Structure 1
Amino acid sequence: MLLLGITLLLGAIDLLRLPFSSVDLAARNWVDLIKASGCLALVWLACSFVLYRLNRDFSRMAQVIRGVAERVRAFAALVGAFLPLSMSISVFMYLSSATDKPLTDAELAMIDEALGFNWLNFLIAVNESAFFSTVLLVAYHSLAFQVPLVLFWHAMQRSEHYAIEFIALFGISATISLALMSVIPAAGAYTYFDPGPADFSNFTAQAGMWHYSVLSALRSGMPFELVLTEVNGLVTFPSFHTTLGILVVYSLRHSALWIPVGMLNLLMIIGTLPEGGHYLIDVIAGMMVAATSILAVRTYSARLAHFDRQRNPLAVGAGIEETNLIGDTTTAFPDARR
């Protein structure tokens, strides 16, 4: 029930805040939601129908088709669980950004200085190598593809419990990040240091600034129509790229992918500084958010497993492998534990 609880909590907070905010949800959001939900439902039902028809067919071809249908259905169910959570998070992020609280960029830059880190000097130094800059740039933007790939990987491997764990971690870490962002609003290192074009010539033209026009519009207090398919990341402190990069690797910890993905995301985290425009303290805070979220989910899972063992001493398994984070997974994933 953890995942469901996070989604409902964020959704309820969004509904309570919307009437008092300059942010308004565009009508097309509901159309897009219906389309997406309808497509996922059709895929799930189609796969269920295939499995029903082949239930008593034990031929080799039928087994192959059943395996594909089971995995595709699992992926549709996982995306269906992720979709409402991500929507609630996006609305919360925009509502929290629509504030006139003073930006804290100067304070964040001072913390970096106290840590012995000069963001502008780092940017200029990294930009001197076109190759390294390109590597960091590609690694940074790869994160957008990693989340759906994690869900797809676990669906194909029939390890849906790890996908559910990942979605729960995503929800908890996003909630923590949004709470911190609400208290410590910032625009990013590019707005504070204002580097010249030559200083980041090997990065994208809008490096660290693609969100700034949206952030400025939200902070102006003028009416803002939010289209969820056009959402920009607005969180500077803490670095959610850092948090999510760690969570992706953690979710793949029992697969052969964790080493190459870990190396990729190490570069991605470095790339949050020059391409993402994050301060070093943002990255450190993002690491702490990831660690806190993992600890929270592991603690919840252990306690739930302990409760299950007390209720049924013959139950086998402990920890996340047999722990239910969203309720009865046998409904959406009836074949998950074969």
Structure 2
Amino acid sequence: MKIVSALAGKRRAITAMAGNGEILVGQRRNLQLLPPEHLMLGIIVGFGLAAVALVLATGRIVNWPPFLVGFFATLGLVGVGGYIRAVKAAPRIALAVIGVGVFMGFTAVSTVFIFALFPLPNPLIDQQLIALDAQVGYHWPGFVAGLAEYPWFARGLGYLYHTSLPQIVLLIIVLGALAREVALHRLLLVGIVTLIVTVAIWWLWPSVGPSAYQTIPKPILAATGLYYDDAYGAYLKQLVEVGPGRISPEVITGVVAFPSYHMVMACMVVWFSRATVLFLPALVANLAMIPATLSHGGHHLIDLAAGVVVFAACLAVAHRIIPSPSSV
């Protein structure tokens, strides 16, 4: 009777914790991959096959080995994570390892897919976006010139701008360490779905940002450390109109302007770091990511607003696909 009572008490404790939004992944030692992980890996494989098909259909030349390294690293991390979960009984580590693998895998396949889309079929809409920004008083060269008055701050924003991906990796590790299974899987799914939606919008209404149309004087470029000059803007336009001669890591750069995926990632980090030790630093860093994205990202103001809308819509989708334990 004591054994039965103890088991019942343990079951009640598990139920109570699940009701509070936590999944006791330690109770799933016999499972290698959880359903959301199966779903996201399926999306990665499907997206990868779509990228290969697109490359073959367009006759693009791809330097495959560097991209395949990322894809096989994903398989390796997922395999290691599954082993850790099934054999080593370390579910929190498994969550983090598989999560990083999923993130790396989708990043690798989506990069090839995006660059295989060039040249884009529709004309750039940057002039219209510049006009919309002007209606609310935003002027990119004027904004950058204002930052040049504070060179230390402007250069600091440049370093911050390049931390979006490391921030997400760190958040994946922390959520795994905290056994925040639902939050971690939603983070990954939101990252995947938002990128698909962002690229779809950009493909229909392409833009490369104001650097291809507006000039920043060289002293201001030097003071801010900005690398989005006229030549860079011309390079982005060439990518859109002609495409790269060869898809390789050295030609990969940020080409999606509207909506801003940097803004999407900033929203992801802030939203999913809630109730963790990362929240306050993430909030401060990603508030600063707004001027960093506008300046060093070479974005229109409306790009950022569109990024917030895409994030909010895809977050709602992720909540439906991966519901809270209490609603299952």
Fold match by TM threshold 0.5: yes
- Map of 1:168-183 to 2, 5 A cutoff? 168-183=189-204
2:140 equivalent to 1:119 = yes
Q: Which residue of 2 aligns with 1:156?
A: 177
Q: Which residue of 2 aligns with 1:197?
A: 218
Q: Which residue of 2 aligns with 1:21?
A: 58
| Whole-angstrom CA distance in 2 between matches of 1:113 and 1:189 | 12
| Whole-angstrom CA distance in 2 between matches of 1:283 and 1:253 | 21
What percentage of aligned pairs have identical amino acids?
23
Question: Structure 2: which 5+ runs fail to align?
Answer: 1-35
Q: 1:284 aligns with which of 284, 287, 305?
A: 305
Task: Kindly indicate whether the alpha-carbon contact (under 8 Å) linking 1:181 and 1:236 is maintained by their aligned counterparts in 2.
Answer: yes
Task: Kindly indicate whether the alpha-carbon contact (under 8 Å) linking 1:239 and 1:278 is maintained by their aligned counterparts in 2.
Answer: yes
- CA distance 1:194–1:211, shift in 2 (3 Å): closer
The superposition leaves residues 195-215 of structure 1 with CA deviations (integer Å, 9 ceiling, x where unpaired) of 111223332241477975764
Q: More helix by proportion, 1 or 2? A: 2
2:282 equivalent to 1:261 = yes
| Whole-angstrom CA distance in 2 between matches of 1:97 and 1:47 | 41
2:162 equivalent to 1:141 = yes
Q: How far off is 1:253 after superposition?
A: 1.5
Q: 2:48 aligns with which of 11, 19, 43?
A: 11
Q: Which amino acid aligns with 1:298?
A: H
| Whole-angstrom CA distance in 1 between matches of 2:48 and 2:64 | 17
- CA distance 1:217–1:193, shift in 2 (3 Å): closer
Q: Which amino acid aligns with 1:243?
A: V
TM-score by length of 2: 0.77
2:150 equivalent to 1:129 = yes
The DSSP-based 3-state class of the residue aligned with 1:25 is coil
Q: How far off is 1:156 after superposition?
A: 1.7
- Map of 1:216-255 to 2, 5 A cutoff? 216=237, 218-219=239-240, 221=242, 224-227=245-248, 231-255=252-276
Q: Larger relative CO (CA 8 A, sep 6+): 1 or 2?
A: 1
Task: Kindly indicate whether the alpha-carbon contact (under 8 Å) linking 1:21 and 1:98 is maintained by their aligned counterparts in 2.
Answer: no
Q: How far off is 1:106 after superposition?
A: 1.0
Q: Which amino acid aligns with 2:326?
A: A
Q: How far off is 1:152 after superposition?
A: 1.1
Q: How far off is 1:255 after superposition?
A: 1.4
| Whole-angstrom CA distance in 1 between matches of 2:280 and 2:310 | 22
Task: Kindly indicate whether the alpha-carbon contact (under 8 Å) linking 1:169 and 1:294 is maintained by their aligned counterparts in 2.
Answer: yes
Q: How far off is 1:161 after superposition?
A: 2.5
The number of residues matched between the two structures is: 291
Q: How far off is 1:131 after superposition?
A: 3.0
- CA distance 1:210–1:177, shift in 2 (3 Å): farther
| Whole-angstrom CA distance in 1 between matches of 2:222 and 2:188 | 36
State which drifts further: 275-284 or 26-35: 26-35
Q: Which amino acid aligns with 1:301?
A: I
RMSD: 3.0
The superposition leaves residues 53-76 of structure 1 with CA deviations (integer Å, 9 ceiling, x where unpaired) of xxxxxxxxxxxxx7xx54433322
| Whole-angstrom CA distance in 2 between matches of 1:229 and 1:74 | 32
| Whole-angstrom CA distance in 1 between matches of 2:49 and 2:171 | 28
